[in-house]
A and B are shown apart, each in its own frame.
Chain A
């Protein structure tokens, strides 16, 4: 249980990462908040469990910046839910976030395992 909490903390700190994961999820189609959380969890092999406490503020933030938009719909169980979907600006943001994240994690990986990188300067 504790290990998973640590990941959650990491995701909170990795604010940009959470945004990126949400945008990625929404790139597969519109989804409501709960579904986004589920998708991230399933997609990461149960490793990343996003707390609602961080998810909804992130959604709010992303919406404010215009990268996602929301509308009320009926869910698959016929309940009213707020569905989010990617905007065009959001698609662009996703690409740039991912590339930035890739660079960063590559850099870190490079530092952590210097043998695998292209060689030292």
Chain B
């Protein structure tokens, strides 16, 4: 079922998902959004309007670096890649998110 109607992702998780997506290698903005959408089987959609502000915030925080390159369709594009701080942040966020989800599951499964 097309879950395009799912609203914006939660702000904290958005960083985490972008970081995870980039852990496999540098991507440009469009590719990041696409990868997230595909890997989650349309479960998660990053609204275009939130993508670039989030990417820039991550640049300011030093989790990502950016540089210009040529995309697969031969156009000039800006590629983002994880920094060592970014990797650390990813691990940290993932760990915390795991804890959170498990805790919620605990409550939800108790009957």
Contact = CB atoms under 8 A, between A and B. Distances in A.
Interface string A4-40: 0011011001100100110011001000000000001
Interface of A: 3, 6-7, 9-10, 13-14, 17, 20-21, 24-25, 28, 40, 43-45, 47-48, 98, 101, 103-112, 114, 117, 120-121
Given A10-B100, A110-B40, A112-B16, 19 more contacts: A3-B96, A7-B99, A7-B103, A13-B10, A17-B104, A43-B106, A43-B107, A44-B106, A45-B103, A104-B6, A104-B44, A107-B43, A109-B101, A110-B39, A111-B17, A111-B39, A112-B20, A114-B39, A117-B39
Interface residues of B, number: 31
B104 A13 contact: no
A24 B38 contact: no
Contacts, number: 86
A44 B41 contact: no
Interface string B80-111: 00000000000000101101111110111011
A120 B42 CA distance: 12
Contacts of A121: 38-39, 41
9 contacts: A28-B110, A44-B103, A44-B104, A104-B6, A107-B41, A110-B41, A110-B43, A111-B44, A117-B39
A48 B36 contact: no
- Which of B11, B101, B104 has the most chain A CB atoms closer than 10 A to its own CB? B104
A103 B104 contact: no
Contacts of B71: none
B95 to A, nearest CB: 10
A104 B3 CA distance: 10
A108 B40 contact: yes
B40 A107 contact: yes
Given A98-B108, A111-B36, A104 B43 contact: yes
B2 interface: no
B25 interface: no
B39 A120 contact: yes
A48 B103 contact: yes
Nearest to A48: B103
A111 B103 contact: no
